[in-house]
Structure 1
Amino acid sequence: MRHLIGSVALVAVIAAAASFIENEFYLRTLFMICVYFLCAAGMNVLLGFAGQKSLGQAGLFAAGAYAVALLTTRYEVGPWLALLLACGVSAFFGILIAMPSLRVKGPSLAMVTLAFGVVIEKLVTEGSEVFGGAMGIYAIQPLTLGGVPFTMLQWVWFGLGLCLVAHLLLRNLLQGRFGRAFLSLQADEVAAGAVGVAVYRYKVLAFVIAAVTCGLAGALVAQQNQYINSDFINFHLSIFILLLVLFGGSGSLYGPLLGSVTLVIIGALVARWTWIEHFVNGALLLFALYAMPKGLAGVFGSLFRKLGLGMRSSAGAEPARIAPKLPTRSVEPGAAGSLLKADSLNKAFGGVVPAKDVSVALTEGHIHALIGPNGAGKSTFINMLTGIIRPDRGTVTFLGREITQQTVHGICDHGVARTFQNLRLFKDLSVRENVLLGQHSRMQNGFVASLLGLPKARREEAKALGKVNDILAFTGLSQYADAPAGSLAYGLQRRVELARALASEPLLLLLDEPAAGLNPQETAELGQLLVRIRNEGITILLIEHHMDLVMTISDHVIVLDYGQKIAEGTPGKIQEDPRVMEAYLGTSIEAA
């Protein structure tokens, strides 16, 4: 509430101050700050939060500008309705640019979006019959109030209002479930899917948000100028929008504001020397990348922390305690027999076959261990159970429902959680935020409720936070809740990953070598923790090379060798099995 009051007060002060400005140039500069803030705010979601690099924002700017131009001049659509429809057109192009971009990452993604921007630029330049080419489109209807076109001061007021609304809406969205999901995409897409984030869906959503805000900005410029031509749409515009985010502070809610204010004012100061403008922007981009990797927001944030003005965590750390219970979900009615069945799973990578007709049945409430020599196919088997790898043949059934072709996040939604052989934490996020991401699939607030900050979204966030605090207490991590996950000792990072998996309230927990890299004391504590988790009603499948741990806590042991199941049974039976001894010791069955 304080942020809302402060934001409204700031905009009101700027609007009041603008009413005393008579110079048209200064008013237009204020208006362009608003326009570029809208571009940067959406780009910040795409780049700063979701980590998707785009160099095609000029094309999305053009989509909004030319949509409103054509609607008002050719089809005589009213200016207000045309503005709304232009946002819809931009959203469509956002989806269009997102779909092929989902198959590529990094520099390749940037090149795909760059190609889109170049295509749009050539289209509006060469398509003179539709888009006017270099001559452009004239007589675009401006926004009106009582039938009278906006004055420059009213454009400024309207722009300030849109910026306020955009900032508040995006703040609502990014400070909760959706913001954490976007950040998980930037950190590790595989881990994001494993905690229940629909990776491709959220990528598309980030592109659409960036497209709508950029298209809205383009429409505003076209309506304010009452004119648009191909000179407005060029590669420099895409670079400038990228610079707004990087210079202001990528991933910060205040970065777009700092970037747009600073760079538009600098641009206004050098406007009389047009030859120097590109040089200044290029120099600022290099300066931001090398000297201020976190932008102006990072510089000010560090300064505030040194002065003791930094914001404290609203959640607050809890004293260490043992939670009486983990938050869990109940087994669906009618589920009978084994919790999970894998039937004749096969997988080949060229000539390497890590899974040959592997069939396993996991009993509810047991700790199952999956053991075997290195290269036996254990991790491949878990990856097939969780959808990261598709089996060539065979089926996986969970609670009587086949999940063989389900997505990674879909399998998590059903109640299967996992950890990884190599740590996949979101290291720049706090321990609490990592574990909150585990609650993503259990939270019920959708996009609209989160965007508008409705009571349902606040209730879901509070409920998830309460569950996460219980999980942190259960796993002994409460005192580290606000520390960056990547700053903890390796053994604690392993425990954070386990806590994140528990936050999805799984019925089945798959652990891929959770004791790897732990010392004997940490390994013993892990064994005790796993037994406590089993006692909470969570079934566990454990891949592990620490035989003392396996034989101590397991109810049932499965042995793989060269991708085939060679034995299974109780720990005592497995220890005496000659095939297991041969696999581990390399001796013949007779000698074993």
Structure 2
Amino acid sequence: MRVPHLFSVIAVSLGIALLAWLVDNDYYLRILFMMGVYYLCAAGMNVLVGYAGQKSLGQAGLFAAGAYAAALLTTSFDLDPWTALAAAAVVAGLCGVLIAWPSLRVRGPYLAMVTLAFGIVVEKLVSEWTEVFGGAEGIFGIKPLAIAGTPFSNLHWVWFAIALGAVTHLLLRNLLCGRFGRAFLSLQADEIAAESVGVSVYRYKILAFGIAAVTCGIAGAMVAQQNQYVNSDFITFHLSIFILLLVLFGGSGNLYGPLIGAVLLTLIDALLAQWPSVQHFAYGALLLFALYLMPNGVAGLLKQLFGTVARKPETLPEPKALKPAAAAASIGASQPLLDVDHVSKHFGGVRPAQDVSFRLTPGHVHALIGPNGAGKSTMINMITGVLTPTSGRIAFVGQDIGGTESHVICRMGIGRTFQNLRLFANLSVLENVLLGQHCRMKNGFWASLLALPSSRREEAEAHRRASAILGTVDLADLAHSPAGSLPYGLQRRVELARALATEPKLLLLDEPAAGLNPQETAELGQLIVKISRLGITILMVEHHMDLVMSISDHIVVLDYGIKIAEGSPAAIQSDKRVIEAYLGAEAA
């Protein structure tokens, strides 16, 4: 973390703590405490909704998990309240993982319904199972936090909430301003593209749910311990909506959005508490306002008004990762880098690949061509794990990869671009390329969360490599521009740069010249040749025959899912079956 930011957070926290000390009113202290509680809920929810893009309406259930865990552990098991608070975070985190599993199969409104069902089940459980949870009567005598045997006063609770909020902000900032934050944002943008650069979509979804659950569980435990009482009235669907509103109104996807939302909405909640019907109407109106009229929230509005101009990245030398002929060095030029052996793919009666076999030689430029509907993109998708072959074997460096997940295949050394652009359009050009570096970075969760020196070194090295790659593809001056704002031809280059950042042994290009004008196509051909000279093997699916014939060393031709020819460009140009496939038998 940057030292100036750390000092700023400490200074602001001390200022708020001093203000609380000067306040001689328990009601105002309660409002300050609830701001801290709601900030914890919103900070974790921001990771889940604002960064990972997973819609959740089950936060009340996670809040309840923390609250009742702390209540039961201190009353029924006589556990120390500090230990109970830590245990409540663990219990809530496990519940978060539990409701995350359905997210592996559903998304969007269906995921929201699953999480809503979880919240309703928890609400019914704590209200109906009176023997354990006390129902409407609740659980009394919950042990509060204490120091040297002296329970926290209201002022102490405010100070504790401020300290915990500051630590949460610093930790999440460490996590989200680096490798993990980019990975979460890639889930929201395009899960298939995220997998293609080595992001494990399922793992990061579960992690986002876990983070949101832990912070919400801690908040619930704090409320239960501060009140020394909890009942089913604490856990309602209204709470889930309120926590979601904290994020959306404050500004989802912004580190300061949860804080802004917590401060403003807690004040509004206090002002409207004596008019419950007006209170609910106000929340609905604010939710609609945040969704339709201010989609980036208050934080987004402030950033738009007072945002600063981003600093351009430093242009650095070409990284070593682009230079060595990794594939040729590891297996020898005489052995195939990729071996496709009698591979077929069936979708019911449709057969886009039928008993296809070919081999790719390390260090060469290969082309996979054929008329529309020949099965070329299907073959690329099977090689990269998007599709699983019905039969046959695909071996990369001698290892069978058929049916392997895309992010694993990327880590093995296969990078790709897509027929239809799959950029992370709202991220900058540099962030897109840094996502390509994701699978090559070694800083794990705890190192990133705590901003350990090893994590900072990995980030610095990733930026150095990304900047050098951008220089290689002539995009260094556009590093901080949103990728989706660039002309189509430059977006194609960004996607190619992102694929290069995965440090592939084999680079698959699915119609890289689609939509390019003749000049851009010629420049692309020169760039592909330049990349191949770095020792990277290339397999290109392309319809521009001039480009294919001018830069390819070896060509494979498909027609209706069947391989009809294979050989050098000269041999393919004179092959009667190829001419017939493209021009028809009569023309041939």
TM-score, with structure 2 as normaliser:
0.98
**Alignment correspondent of 1:540:** 538
Alpha-carbon offset, residue 328 of structure 1: 5.1
Q: In the aligned structure 2, how far is the partner of 1:563 from the partner of 1:577?
A: 18
Kindly state the Cα deviation for residue 5 of structure 1 after the two structures are TM-superposed: 0.5
User: Which residue matches 2:580?
Assistant: 582
1:317, distance to aligned residue in structure 2 (A): 3.3
Contact 2:103–2:205 at 8 Å: present in 1 too?
no
- The whole-number CA distance in structure 2 between the counterparts of 1:145 and 1:155 is 12
CA contact (8 A) 1:49 1:186 kept: yes
SS of residue in 1 equivalent to 2:558:
strand
Question: Residue 125 of structure 1 aligns to a residue in which SS?
Answer: helix
Structure-2 residue corresponding to 1:562: 560
Which residue identity is paired with 1:63? A
Cα offset for 1:326?
Answer: 5.9
Unaligned runs of 5+ residues in structure 2 are: none
* Contact 1:63/1:215, CA 8 A, preserved across alignment: yes
Query: Following the alignment from structure 1 to structure 2, what is the Cα–Cα distance between the partners of residues 259 and 288?
Result: 11
Selected match of 2:109 from 92, 107, 126: 107
Structure 1 residue 335 corresponds to structure 2 residue 331: yes
Matched, 1:142 2:144: yes
1:28-47 correspondence runs (5 A): 28-47=30-49
Partner of 2:528: 530
Q: Does structure 1 residue 493 correspond to structure 2 residue 491? A: yes
Conserved? CA contact 2:318–2:465, under 8 Å: no
Whichever residue aligns with residue 108 of structure 1, its letter is Y
Deviation at 1:255, TM superposition (A): 0.1
Kindly indicate whether the alpha-carbon contact (under 8 Å) linking 2:327 and 2:535 is maintained by their aligned counterparts in 1: no
Q: Distance in 1 between matches of 2:5 and 2:319?
A: 37
- Give the corresponding residue for 2:360: 362
1:412 to 395, 410, 421: 410
**Shift in Å at residue 388 of structure 1?**
0.2
Match of 1:552 among 534, 550, 553: 550
Task: Confirm or deny: 8 A CA contact 1:442 1:504 kept in the other structure.
Answer: yes
Aligned pairs (5 A) from 1:63-142: 63-142=65-144
- Asked if 1:430 is matched to 2:432, the reply is no
Q: Distance in 2 between matches of 1:223 and 1:324?
A: 54
Task: Check whether the contact 2:328–2:363 (CA below 8 A) recurs between aligned residues.
Answer: no
Matching residue of 1:192: 194
Per-residue CA deviations over 1:94-149 (Å, capped at 9, x if unaligned) read: 11000012210110010000000000000001010110011110100000111011
Following superposition, the deviation at residue 275 of structure 1 comes to 2.5
Aligned counterparts, 1:3-18, within 5 A: 3-18=5-20
State the Cα distance separating 1:335 from its structure 2 match.
Answer: 2.7
Q: 1:440-479, CA deviations, whole angstroms, 9 ceiling, x for partnerless residues?
A: 0000000000000111111000001110111001001111
Report deviation, 1:400.
1.2
The one of 313, 318, 322 equivalent to 1:317 is 313
Q: Is residue 327–residue 337 contact of structure 2 (8 Å, CA) maintained in 1?
A: no
- Check the 8 A contact 1:73/1:139 in 2, yes or no: yes
In structure 1, stretches of 5+ residues that fail to align are none
Q: AA paired with 2:444?
A: G
Cα deviation for residue 323 of structure 1 reads 4.3
Q: Using the alignment, how far apart are the partners of 2:259 and 2:540 within structure 1?
A: 49
Among 376, 379, 387, the alignment partner of 1:378 is 376
Contact preservation (8 Å) 1:325, 1:536: no
Distance 1:370 1:331, change over 3 A: closer
Number of the residue aligned with 2:28: 26
Which of 297, 300, 315 in structure 1 is aligned with 2:299?
297
- Aligned equivalents of 2:272 and 2:284: distance in 1? 14
Q: From the superposition, tell whether residues 386 and 137 of structure 1 become closer, same or farther in structure 2 (CA, over 3 Å).
A: same
Query: TM-score normalised to the size of structure 1?
Result: 0.97
Whole-angstrom distance in 1 between the partners of 2:12 and 2:353: 62
**Cα RMSD over matched residues?**
1.3
Q: d(CA) in 1 for partners of 2:375 and 2:476? A: 36
Equivalent position to 1:168, from 167, 170, 191: 170
Matches of 2:575 and 2:480, distance apart in 1: 48
Counterpart secondary structure, 1:396:
strand
- Paired residues, number: 583
User: Paired residue for 1:519?
Assistant: 517
Whether the aligned pair in 2 keeps the contact of 1:347 and 1:355 (CA below 8 Å) is: yes
CA drift at 1:518: 0.2
CA distance in 2, matches of 1:489, 1:470: 21
Aligned to 1:153: 155
- Quote how far apart the aligned CAs of 1:280 are: 1.1
| Distance in 2 separating the partners of 1:292 and 1:443 | 36
Match of 1:55 among 54, 57, 69: 57
Residues 375-402 of structure 1: CA deviation (Å, up to 9, x unaligned): 0000000000000001111111111111
2:199 and 2:43 mapped to 1: Cα distance? 23
Code of the residue aligned with 1:180 in structure 2: it is: R
The partner residue of 2:274 within 262, 272, 275 is 272
Which letter does structure 2 place at the counterpart of 1:286? L
Q: Distance in 1 between matches of 2:358 and 2:172?
A: 46
Q: CA deviation at 1:331?
A: 3.8
SS of 1:423's partner is coil
Residue 513 of structure 1 contacts residue 545 of structure 1 at CA under 8 Å; is this kept in 2?
A: yes
Q: Cα distance 1:220–1:328, how it changes in 2: closer, same or farther (>3 A)?
A: farther
Query: Is the contact between residue 322 and residue 476 of structure 1 (CA under 8 Å) also seen in structure 2?
Result: no
State the alpha-carbon separation in 2 of the partners of residues 77 and 515 from structure 1.
66
User: CA offsets, 1:400-419, max 9 Å, x none?
Assistant: 11111211000000000000
- Amino acid of the structure 1 residue aligned with 2:487: A
What is the deviation of 1:279?
Answer: 1.0
CA deviations over 1:328-382 (Å, ceiling 9, x no partner): 5634976351001111111111111000011111000000000000000000000
